[in-house]
Amino acid sequence: MSAPAGTPCLEVRGISKTFRDGGQTVRALEDVSFAAWPGEFITIIGPSGSGKSTLFNVITGLAEPDAGEIVLACDVARDRAGRVGYMPQRDLLLPWRTVLNNVILGPELDGRSRREARRRARELLPLFGLDGFADAFPDALSGGMRQRAALLRTFLTDREVLLLDEPFGALDALTRRELQRWLLGVWERFRKTILFITHDVEEAVYLADRVLVFSARPGRIVKELRVDLPRPRQTISLLSEDLRRLEAELMIALEAASGGAR
Amino acid sequence: MGQANARPRRASARLLTDVARAVILTAVAVVVLAFFASGVLQLAIEVRAQENLALDTIFPSVSAVRGAWEAHRDRLLEEHIPETLWETLAGLAMATVLGVTIAALMDFSRVLRWLLYPLLVVSQTIPIFAIAILLILIFGFGSGPKITVVVLFCFFPVALNTFSGLQSADPELLSLLRAMGASARQVWTKARLPAAMPSFFAGLRIAATYSVVGAIFGEYITAQRGLGVFLKRSYSSFRLDQAYLAILLTAALSLLLVLLVNLVERLALRWYYTSRRASWRGPGIY
Ligand SMILES: Nc1ncnc2c1ncn2[C@@H]1O[C@H](COP(=O)(O)OP(=O)(O)O)[C@@H](O)[C@H]1O
Ligand SMILES: [Mg+2]
């Protein structure tokens, strides 16, 4: 939305990653570079298999890149584990923990007070649509609720940068719409920097300040689309002219990007 | 997109492995059937040879068994059952600790897994009878050897099941914890251990089933008290009504113990049973 100012809180510099799997090599990422400024909402879209999840694994420190580096809050981060909030594609709630005990996992792993974390979590449960479900086990929740619980867990890590990997990918269209609108509200309240992977063009445009388009394997950034729509966007018409124009532009870029794979 | 890349094997090689597999499976089936038939035949021959045995000595009436209970109730309740129960519970508790420790060690390092796994299996192939006599020679006639026999009976299912439970933790979940900055210890206590609990209880249930039999086995060799001695004395005086009583009591104790394990499991794994409430009615039926 606004022009980048100050220093970025996350810089991805020339990341390449190749998997060697038996005799086969898969080039997942090739020379990916971008920066995220504080409070920015960046969506990442690309054909499946274009290395988007791999990029998140590199940023979180689960995978080491073959080339390039990740800069977090201005220092080259070698030990990156736990420095960003991460929500993987599957919600991965712990089935043996109640919702409340699931969402405080971040503070608990940090060694912060559990009592304090629970108090904060309880306050936020209504905002995350989980009021009255504090003591329920995850298996009792609907898909949308599980996703919101996983999001609350990610927000409660209190990290500046949050990586969300297709959080709404498995939901039906209606629930997804609702959650997108809701997520924007939450994001505006918490002012986090969000990297959000999606394969949905409308979602990518609706949420983002900037959209990064990945090419088919090996993943490269082939287009960067700035979304200058005003915020808050919760009430924006889905048929808005500007929205449609940007979606069309993105669709064209995406088709060109995945052309090689078809 | 993702292209399948299994290298095409030559058709002749594939045919050969198919034929080999068919031959092996047929051979195994034939061998199993042959032993089954010869076993059944042997039983039939021996049953026919026993025709003249008095049935009411082998199967005493219910009232005879109840009579035995009335006659021995005080000694059974005050001496034999408490002794057997104490040996059983002590042995089962020690087996649980030992089994979980072994499982944790095997989970902890690949080298330990390589070293411990064969030892575990071998420990189950040694005739426990031989070990029990050895233990009594070493430690005398007290409860110690019996407790040890219970441990030998019981630690194996606990160790094996807990180990496979520890290994079953969702790798993506472990990755998530690591990405969140969890230490190795935290990954273990927050994910691997809780994930292993259902398997642990499955192992414990098997152990509980064996444990009473283990204690009685130990007592049978030599002891002053316990259901095992009671059983042995019954046989040596040819009191089959007493023997049946001992067998019934053993079964009752075993069943009670299994029910106790189920109860503890229900309480400890509330998440497991609530989540499967709709679709699954597992062993925790009580
Ligand atoms: N651990 C791994 N080992 C081998 N290949 C992998 C591994 N992780 C991902 N890949 C491969 O890298 C490519 C990119 O995967 P991924 O990052 O999951 O794509 P996306 O999230 O964009 O759909 C895929 O072809 C995938 O098969
Ligand atoms: Mg992915």
Asked if the Cβ–Cβ distance from A137 to B271 is below 8 Å, we say yes
Query: Is residue A139 less than 8 Å (CB to CB) from chain B?
Result: yes
Give the pair of three-digit tokens for residue B184. 């190795």
Give the count of Cβ contacts less than 8 A between chain A and B: 70
Give the global pTM: 0.81
By DSSP bridging, strand A10-21 and strand A210-214 are unpaired
Residue A240: the pLDDT is 80
Distance from CA of A2 to the nearest CA of B (A): 30
Mean pLDDT, chain A, integer: 87
| pLDDT surpassing 90 at residue A53 | yes
One DSSP character per residue, A121-140 reads HHHHTTTTT-TT-TTS-GGG
Distance, in Å, from the CA atom of B147 to the CA atom of B216, rounded to the nearest integer, reads 10
pLDDT digits (tens, 9 = 90+) for B162-206: 999 999 889 999 999 999 999 999 999 999 999 999 999 999 999
Nearest to A169 by CA among A103, A226, A88: A88
Is A177 in CB contact (< 8 Å) with chain B?
no
How would residue A190 be classed by pLDDT, with cut points 50, 70 and 90?
confident
Cα nearest neighbour of B179 on chain A = A81
Sketch the domain layout of chain B as residue ranges: 1-50, 63-275
Q: Choose which CATH entry (3.40.50.300, 1.10.3720.10, 3.40.50.2000, 3.20.20.450) describes domain B63-275.
A: 1.10.3720.10
Rg over CA atoms, chain B: 25
| In contact, B124 and B149? CB cutoff 8 Å | no
Question: What's the pLDDT at B5?
Answer: 46
The superfamily CATH assigns to domain A1-84+161-262 is P-loop containing nucleotide triphosphate hydrolases (3.40.50.300)
Task: Please report which confidence band the pLDDT of residue A103 belongs to, taking 50, 70 and 90 as the band edges.
Answer: very high
pLDDT score at B258: 93
| pLDDT recorded at residue B191 | 94
Q: Which pLDDT score, from 0 to 100, does residue A241 have?
A: 84
User: CA A176 → CA A2, A156, A168, distances in Å?
Assistant: 27, 22, 6
Least confident window among A146-155, A237-246, B189-198: A237-246
pLDDT mean by block of 10 residues, chain B; 286 residues? 50 85 94 95 84 67 88 89 94 96 91 90 83 84 88 92 92 93 92 93 94 91 88 88 91 93 88 62 47
Residue A109 has pLDDT above 50, yes or no: yes
* Cβ neighbours, 10 Å, residue A51: 28
Mean pLDDT confidence for A8-16 = 90
Alpha carbon distance A160, A153 (integer Å): 14
Q: What DSSP string describes A9-67?
A: SEEEEEEEEEEEETTEEEEEEEEEEEEE-TT-EEEEE--TTSSHHHHHHHHHTSS--SE
Give the ipTM of the model, two decimals please: 0.88
- pLDDT > 90 in chain A, percent: 47
Query: In whole angstroms, what is the distance from residue A199 CA to residue A254 CA?
Result: 10
Question: Where exactly does CATH 3.40.50.300 map onto chain A?
Answer: 1-84+161-262
Which atom of ligand 1 lies nearest, measured to the CA of A63? 1
B258, two tokens = 């299994």
Residue in B202, B197, B210 with CA at minimum distance from that of residue B282: B202
Q: Which of residues 25-64 of A touch B (CB under 8 A)?
A: 48-49, 57, 60-62
For residue A262, name the pLDDT band (cuts at 50, 70, 90): very low
Q: Do B173 and A94 touch (CB under 8 A)?
A: yes
- From chain A, the residues in CB contact with B272 under 8 A are 95-96
